Structure 1
Amino acid sequence: MGEAIGVAGSAVGIISLGIQTAQGILWYYRAWKDQDDDISRMCSSLHNLTETLKVLLDTIAPPATFGKSVKGSVENNINTFHGTLKKLEYELEKLKDAELPKPGARSMIRRHVRRACYPFREATLVKIQGDISEARSNLGSALDILGLCVYLVYRYSPAKAKLIRVFSDEISGIRRQVNIIVRWQKDQETQKIVNWLSPLNSWLKQADISNQRQPGTGQWLLDDPVFLEWVKGNKESLWCRGMPGVGKTVLTSAVIEFLEKDLPIPDIGLAFIYCNYKERLLQKIEYFAGTIARQLVEQRPAITDEVRELYEEHCGKGTRLSCAEYLGLLQSLAKGCSEVYIIVDALDECIDKDEESIWSYLLTKLKASVPNLHLFCTSRHISDVGGSLVSSTHIEIRASDADIEAYVQEQIKSKNRLLGFCREDAALQDEVLAAVRLKSRGMFLAAQLHVESLAKKQNLRAVRKALNELPEKLDSIYHEAMERIRQQSTEDSTLASRVLSWIVYAVRPLQLTEIQHAVAVNDIEPGDRSISKDSLISQSIIINACAGMIKVDEESNIIRLIHYTTQEYFERSGLVHFPNAQRNIGVTCLKYLSLGVFDEGYCRTDRLYEHRLKANPLLDYAARNWGSHIREESEQTIQALALEFLLDDSKVSSSTQVLLTGKYLYPGYSQEPPRNIRGVHYVAYFGLIDIMAKLLLVKDGVDPDSRDTDGQTPLLWAARNGHEAVVKLLFVKYGVNPDPEAINGRTPLSRAAENGHEAVVELLLAKDGVDLNSKDSGGQTPLSWAAIHGHGPVVELLLAHDGVDPDPRDSGGRTPLSWAARNGHEEVVKLLLTKDGVDPDSRDVYGGTPLLWATVNGHELVVKLLLAKDGVDSDSKDNGGQTPLLWAARNGHEPVLKLLLRKDGINPDSKDNDGQTPLSCAAGSGHELV
């Protein structure tokens, strides 16, 4: 603990001035009655800012037990806040000059007249709201740093702890030991490492969802004896299931908040995942394991040597951790935690029948790797995930009548027209509460849509009539909402249709600014080089036009359908509501990519690249996805639009730089994509066969064998992505080189094998001149790549060719069998073990054998196969003197350990180069069962 040092008086003065300024602006706007929603929201934000400043002042004004580094960081952040405060001061001075009518006259000013005056213009309100958000953001780091005292103060002063929790709630996402994280954010190397583990900042999502929860709702779950038993550790897994729309995700946010702020247990590890149907293609084992690992790493005092070594090993090769490596890392990180709580929300949104085995594997491995694990899952009523949750305790998620009523009351308050009707007729609110509660059948989602419908009515009679006709089934509720959309003005109805079709058919979640630019493309005029700000439609207009079917996350600015069931509704009826959605989205993307602002081509610096993305928000989505949306389209006008774009090398260069640039920020990251990519490469990437055929017929000549600066040809791109028809076209009609080698040594066969494209591999194997054993810069052959990724059918195809070497060694001395064993690919291991010429006990440069690598990662079935094979030394030592048994003990793989101990010739007391035995390793790693 540091000595008692007070924060500088200048910082205290800045916070005091901030309180006065915020209160002055708040007083002015609250003086007006019948506030619009945006004014009410701004006032609420001002009030929250004021309260946050008061708590901060209360914390820093008296001398406190802060170390000098904490004191300095707090003062620096408050000084940063001072710059934003000046903007708010300026607005306050302008408000003082604006005449405030006498009280009796205020109600007589018509709203549309009022909105034309300075203080009520949308631009003014947006600017003030932006200044407020900037102020809160600038204060965030100061609050984070002070947040380090939460646990200590909790022990010594509960009253002060309560105050600190107040501003922790205000800056959503503050976490245990956040002072450490703030310092990390200034450490670029650390940020690179955590972003490499996972690019996902889960706390932004938590903040968005937590903000939606009505105070007091969901307390029944936190008080449930079954839940409390799970928190204490008496239940390993808790599976909460419920029907759609009952508030499972919001309850999950309450659980996370409880564990993060109110659980009086030191040194816990907390990680959570909000599954999202829109990100299903991304949400694989590595995605989830990486997300969990990042959160646990961020809670450590510093980056561990193990994490840094893994980063350095992979970063040089441009690779990520394998699933086995992630699980090993999670096991190691868990050792530094007293308990580990992992929360998975909406499990049903990211799995289908084909993925149950994957999820079963992940959940089973988590339980095996993390002995102090508390697992919490929510979902609809689905069958057990491959048996992995069969022993879980269950709680049925439901929305109580009291929670529904509280929610509806808050919804009514936010709807000025409906609120006015309730004030006009005192009995109406009770009627609304009763009818909505009854017709919602315990679903917050239905209640929200019912209130949205009632809020559009124009008189009391219409409201009461609607109360008697409220539908009960979600499909009927959605159908009614779509009818309301169609009954709007043509402009609003068309806007809603465009926005909804983008949200439904986009391949990833979109931010509001992306949607705004997408809609604005329709208003492009000749000569426009970019989308002008005055052509963007405001958030409030977009929300109102969509009749309650969408929402915008406050923290991430992502625009979404209000629920997963809304997506399911449109998947069933989308062709009726949006018959040309894919075509229209593809055309919009092409028009956007063809704007004159992209004539400059490839950005030469990270700064210029980032400026381009920021100034043109739809660029990222359009560049990565235009081809996917028009793949099935054969309309001549669309193909003509595509050809015009593809023949413009500068625009193609601008777009493909975005396409091939990763999300991980480090110096020079935007300069890694190759240059000289032509339209023919771009079309091959997407596999657009009709457009490719027309592009190659252009009179000026488009070279079907052209190379980018990385030496990649269109054939290589088509093979890499599995586009069989394009590969055939390039072979049959244009006779391209079937085996072009890129500068890193990769060939079309190597890329197709890596990605498991069986049909393309067959085509390439049938061509003369293809080197079946070509080695890339890492010494890996097509067979090596297929084995690494577990593509059994491709391995079988390659092994069937006499010219394929079944046992090549890469630069690290690893063979295909070694890679398959390391990654747990049982089918591939079986295929290789039956092939003559494969050494089942080969050693790599580290002295590791296939058996040792399978043991390190706990692949029981692979270990069993290898132990049954003649010639495998079950007690071999690597360069560090470590045997398979020692590795199994160190990593806590009990089933593998049992297999090894049954084998003759195993020395249970063997020592490695440091004198460690299997027993000492197991004890040192905390594996009591081993």
Structure 2
Amino acid sequence: MVEALGTASSVGPLIQKSRTITTYLKNIKEAPKELDKLLKELRDLEIALTMVELHTRSVTEDDLWLVTLQELETTLDELTEILNKLKKRLEDTSSWMRRMLQWPFTKDGMEEDLGKLERIKSLLLVAAQHNHLALSRAVQRSREVLETTYLTNQLQMDREAAYVAAWLTPLDYNCVQHDKLEQRASDTGAWFFKSPQFLSWTDISKAPSTLWCFGDPGVGKTIFASVIVDHLRVKFNAEETLVLCTFCDYRSAATQTVTNVICSLLKQFIQARLSLTDSIKSFYNRYSRNGTRPSLDGITNLLSQELEPFRHVYIILDALDEFNKNLGGRKELIDILRALGDNICLLVTSRNIHTIRSLFVADTKLDIRADGADIRKTILVKLKQGYLPISLKGGKNIREKILKTVVEKADGVQVSYACSSSISRQFPQITNGLSRSWILKLPNTIEHAYEYLLTKIDSQPNKDLAYRIFGWIAFAERPLTGSELQHALAVEPRSKSLSARNIVSYNIITKVCAGFVVRDRQGSPSFVHHSMQEFFISRKAKLFPYIQEDITRTCLAYMSLDIFSSPDSFMLELFCNSLEVYPFLRYSSNNWTYHARKCTRDTVENEILTFLPTRAKVALSFEEPPYSQPEVQRTPAWFAARYGLVHVMEAGQLAFVELLLSRDDWDVDVNRAGKIMLPHSFAEIGHQFRGFGLEDIFVCSPLCTPLIAAASNGHERTVERLLQSSKMETLNASSSSGMTALSTAISDEHVGVVKLLLSQPDTDTSITYNNLGLDALTPIMLAAGIGNEDILRILLERGDDPDAATPKGIMALHCASMYGHSRIVEILLMTGRVDINAVDHLGYTALMKAAIGTSRMAMQTVKVLSEHTGIDIMAKNVNGRSAYSLAVGAGHGKIVTYLASKRHTRSTDADLSTL
């Protein structure tokens, strides 16, 4: 390992040396064409070296990457020699003026160096792919063509295409697929590819369809998905058939959004094509110029356009049950994938749960279970690799007994066998006399296997540490990095400093957890399988009754370290930016309130009250957008306003607020300057709150009232408590941005808060929202515009007028049509209380707005409107343009074709002349 790490340490200086040479070269004038070639090779070389360096950062002692690094030793030595020579030639030029004018290399010498750089770059790219065998062959063959798909893609892909692919999203599911494929035991899964369901799904003579593959946790669905991707890419011609994949992971919830998943599919298209189409170039330039990100509809429309030429597009979506806790997000993703085109063949894997099963009622289904023969083959592979005890390799009879029993006990679940193999490590010597008793102890379900392993952990001296690790991994708001977990474990409740002796090494973390915890491909600690996370969460009351309190206190204690107490704002900023030294600071700053909200009432109130007045600056230093607003004064008072009425409210602690609301001299109101009125007698409220420095705690930004802040964050208990106060006088007040509590709750889709506000007899639903120059919109228009069916139905049931219009003639039907909410359009039309041909001040009907909409559901919305009785398809706006003409101008070919096919559509020259 020492030799390999020594090799790795040379990568950083090589990157810097390459950059120095590039800087020299850019100053040379009137150079031959070899200059451009050299600059290109150096840029590509820097990318390859950076990839190698990134892999090296998370290396462990047993990582095969160390073997790869040792293979690169000679190659990196040769590269060092070449770069030193190039740098010396450039530096030896006699003067700066000559360096600006003279090319200091001969043609023959430069051709030789370019050839060497290209060969070395190729080897580095192969190494970065973790393909040790290919690297060994490449090193031996030197200049021969390297036969690996990854290398071919990297070498042939246009540099601009590679940059755009990286700009789209950091998600790289091709790498995930490669990693999962390597975990497959050879020759397993044959039964799946012979199944009638799969054969029918891949039959190119049939219309594209959807195949839902469901199975229990641990049956190996993700491995199957990676094998399917590989199988399809080998089977079909890449010119006619495209294979894309997505691997959902509960640990990536923050980045695993619908938009990012669709971006990742477009990224894979670019990587497969090796260059950019004109449409993608135009798309990228449009957004990169403005420094903005594309919308979901924009990405979806572009992807649909690019996939259209293929005969079949196979999309494999693995672990849908691990995507987005918001169930609506799963449905939205599936709907988008289905709507990408008529050539989409979709395969989805997940657990068999009702909310997902309802998405595939009419689709082909296939139950995935680990075949007994596959489990046996996998165990034999582990035996050969030495992952099971030597004693299991002993007598043939013992081995056969164990193999047979493990397969039977696993009952089609590969994780069960894995746990059985972990359990077997507890029995160093298994003889004929002991084999029967050992076999009888084997668990026959995943849950039993986990419980059995916990009994082993309970018997070891470090069990408290093990459970702390399990608690952090299971209940953290997002996956922790290795260093974050190490610092979290090192915090002592009342200590004001962090002791190095409390930092737990990664080897100890994995050892005390008895196989439960591993390092993922990013080097972060995680459970070996998602089912383990569910196991611990389901047993929270028994195993982790106070985990949220423990995490909250740890976060507060970390932010309260003396190192962050400097009154010098420059020093504070310096410390807060030292994430390598204090890696847990960002997590604790961003997420302590998340955990505090989940605490039992009043358990952490004192710690929060102590923390806020003196240490809020630390938390604010890492506050995530959109709350990091420079125009707001960052004080404890601002912090309290951002999180609701007061900080204890945001933390779920209402005692302090109830005390305040019970005072006759306190008013839940704001003055014209947006400041909460604070009585002079505040200091006399109660002795338990004295000394906390909270005299300015109710001074808040004019951005919102307390009720609006609570409504915006969806804090139902807080809203309910405020509404119950006899002092509430701001129910219908609006913020400086024009938002009321009701319009805020509707816009943020907090259905529970909407119900609470509408339950108040004094709530005024006629108040309009007027912000950023938009026309004034009523609540029902807002609900239609965002497409929330639940809120819309609540408002309609109250009797709100769906046909109400703004001064500019905009109605709820216009809002829903503009954004492609076809289901909302259907609901509004079914009321019989809307005019489908109503126009705004520019003469636009709902159909016209749908025809020019950029939503992926624009076509469906056009169909719903155009098929409704009484629709005037030929209506024209003030400029004489019909829906058909507007669709032509917007370039919406499918909508144009559909409208042209309608019986009353007239695509006349006069109509087209208005374009």
CA deviations over 1:137-192 (Å, ceiling 9, x no partner) = 99799749999xxxxxxxxxxxx9981226589xxxx899685553237xxxx84x
Alpha-carbon contact 2:556-2:592 (below 8 Å) kept = yes
SS of residue paired to 1:388: helix
> Where do 1:811-890 residues align within 5 Å?
811-816=773-778, 817-829=780-792, 840-842=804-806, 849-867=811-829, 872=835, 874=837, 876=839, 884-885=847-848, 887-888=850-851
* Aligned mates of 1:366, 1:312 — CA distance in 2: 29
May I ask how many residue pairs the two structures share in their alignment?
A: 767
The answer to whether the Cα contact below 8 Å between 1:364 and 1:388 also exists between their aligned partners in 2 is no
Mapped partners of 1:861, 1:899: distance in 2: 11
Code of the residue aligned with 1:486 in structure 2: it is D
Seen in structure 2, the aligned counterparts of structure 1 residues 838 and 360 have a Cα distance that, compared at 3 Å, is: closer
Determine the structure 2 residue equivalent to 1:747.
Answer: 705
Match among 650, 654, 657 for residue 621 of structure 2: 657
Aligned counterpart for 1:406 among listed residues 371, 377, 395: 377
Q: Equivalent of 2:519, from 544, 552, 563?
A: 552
**Which amino acid is 2:709 matched to?**
R
Cα 1:251–1:754, aligned 2, differ >3 Å: closer, same or farther?
same
Residue identity in the other structure for 1:182: A
Alignment-derived partner of residue 490 in structure 2 = 520
Q: Which residue in 1 is equivalent to 2:362?
A: 391
Partner of 2:140: none
SS in 1 for 2:348: strand
Give the one of 408, 424, 435 matched to 1:454: 424
Does residue 788 of structure 1 match 2:747?
yes
Query: Residue 485 in 1 paired to residue 451 in 2?
Result: no
Give the residue type in structure 1 aligned to 2:783. Answer: A
Deviations 1:488-520 (A, max 9, x none): 3x13x3332221222223233222222222223
Which residue does 1:63 correspond to in 2?
Answer: none
* TM superposition shift of 1:238: 0.8
SS of alignment partner, residue 344 of structure 1: strand
CA gap of 1:223–1:623, structure 2 versus 1, over 3 A, is farther
| 8 A contact 1:634–1:690 mirrored in 2 | no
Q: Matches of 2:51 and 2:324 in 1, distance apart? A: 45
Please list the CA deviations of residues 317-376 of structure 1 after superposition, one character each: whole Å capped at 9, or x if unmatched.
xxx99xxx6356424431221355444323334588xx6666446534543464443322
* 1:563, distance to aligned residue in structure 2 (A): 2.4
Distance 1:671 1:178 in 2: 40
Is 1:503–1:510's contact at 8 Å kept on the other side of the alignment?
yes
Distance 2:53 2:850 in 1: 61
Amino acid at match of 2:762: H
How much has 1:240 moved relative to structure 2? 0.3
Query: Structure 2 CA distance, aligned partners of 1:230 and 1:672?
Result: 57
Match of residue 585 from structure 2:
619
Distance 1:437 1:599, change over 3 A: same
Aligned partner of residue 375 in structure 1, secondary structure: strand
Read off the aligned partner of 2:319 and give its amino acid letter. A
Shift of 1:906: 0.7
Secondary structure class of the residue paired with 1:615: coil
Note closer, same or farther for the CA distance 1:920–1:676 as it changes in structure 2 (3 Å cut). closer
Q: Would the alpha carbon gap of residues 805 and 763 (structure 1) be closer, same or farther in structure 2, given more than 3 Å must change? A: farther
Which residue is 2:762 aligned to?
Answer: 801
Residue 363, structure 1, aligned to residue 329, structure 2: no
1:252 to 225, 238, 241: 225
Cα shift at 1:237: 0.9
What is the distance in 1 between the residues matched to 2:850 and 2:126? 40
3-state SS, counterpart of residue 239 of structure 1 = strand
Partner of 1:677: 636
Distance between the aligned counterparts of 1:926 and 1:229, measured in 2? 29
CA deviations 1:769-814 (Å, max 9, x no partner) are: 7455544454444343233344566556358427664344432114
Q: Does 1:291 align with 2:261?
A: yes
What's the CA shift for 1:396?
A: 2.1
8 A contact 1:275–1:346 mirrored in 2: yes
Change over 3 Å in CA distance of 1:68–1:670 after alignment to 2: farther
CA distance in structure 2 between the partners assigned to 1:393 and 1:70 by the alignment: 53
CA distance in 2, matches of 1:128, 1:275: 29
| 1:154 corresponds to | none
Percent identity of equivalent pairs: 23
Decide whether the 8 Å contact of 2:608 with 2:648 is kept in 1. Answer: no
Q: Does 1:472 align with 2:472?
A: no
Residue matched to 1:51:
none
Structure 2 unaligned blocks of 5 or more? 12-32, 77-119, 130-143, 271-275, 661-665, 679-684, 900-915
Most deviating of 301-310 and 776-785: 301-310
Q: What is the SS of the residue equivalent to 1:863?
A: helix
The one of 387, 397, 406 equivalent to 1:436 is: 406
1:242 paired residue number: 215
> Deviations along 1:720-763, whole A, 9 cap, x unmatched?
xxxxxx9xx99xxx9999997624x3322333344455554455
Q: Which moved more, 1:445-454 or 1:569-578?
A: 569-578
In structure 2, relative to structure 1, the CA distance for the partners of 1:336 and 1:886 (3 Å cut) is farther
Paired residues of 1:643 and 1:695 also in contact (CA < 8 A): no
Equivalent residues of 1:620, 1:658 under 8 A apart: yes
Local SS of the residue matching 2:369: coil
Q: Distance in 2 between matches of 1:143 and 1:369?
A: 33
**CA contact 2:331–2:359 (8 Å) conserved in 1:** yes
Q: Deviations over 1:808-861 (max 9, x none)?
A: 4432114134332222234544566776788634376xx865323322333334
TM-fit CA distance, 1:466: 2.2
Which has the higher mean CA deviation after the structures are superposed, 806-815 or 216-225? 216-225
* Distance 1:929-1:132 versus aligned 2 partners, 3 A rule: farther
AA at the equivalent of 1:656: L
Query: Partners in 1 of 2:782 and 2:596 — Cα distance?
Result: 38
Contact preservation (8 Å) 2:126, 2:150: no
Conservation of the 8 A alpha-carbon contact between 1:70 and 1:145: no
Aligned alpha-carbon RMSD (Å): 5.7
Q: Secondary structure of 2:257's partner?
A: helix
Measured at CA, do residues 201 and 619 of structure 1 come closer, stay the same or move farther in structure 2, by a change above 3 Å?
A: farther
Q: Distance in 1 between matches of 2:631 and 2:61?
A: 40
Q: Within 1, Cα distance between the matches of 2:285 and 2:569?
A: 31
Q: Tell whether the 8 Å contact from 1:603 to 1:654 is kept in structure 2 after alignment.
A: no
Structure 1 residues 76 and 893, CA gap change in structure 2 (3 angstroms): closer
Matched letter for residue 617 of structure 2: S
CA contact (8 A) 1:437 1:447 kept: yes
Q: TM-score, normalised by structure 1?
A: 0.67
Structure 1, 755-764 or 239-248: larger mean CA deviation: 755-764
TM-superposed CA distance for 1:549, in Å, is 1.8
Q: Distance in 2 between matches of 1:122 and 1:794?
A: 49
Cα distance change, pair 738–920 in 1 and its aligned pair in 2 (3 A): same
Counterpart of 1:391, as a letter, is A
- 1:807–1:839: 8 Å Cα contact kept in structure 2? no
Q: Give the one of 149, 157, 164 matched to 1:184.
A: 164
Q: Could you list the runs of 5+ residues in structure 1 that have no partner in the other structure?
A: 1-21, 30-41, 47-65, 90-120, 148-159, 664-668, 697-702, 716-725
Match of 2:477 among 477, 502, 507: 507
Match of 2:306 in 1: 336
SS at match of 1:613: coil
The aligned counterpart of 1:594 is 560
Residue 165 (structure 1) aligns with: 149
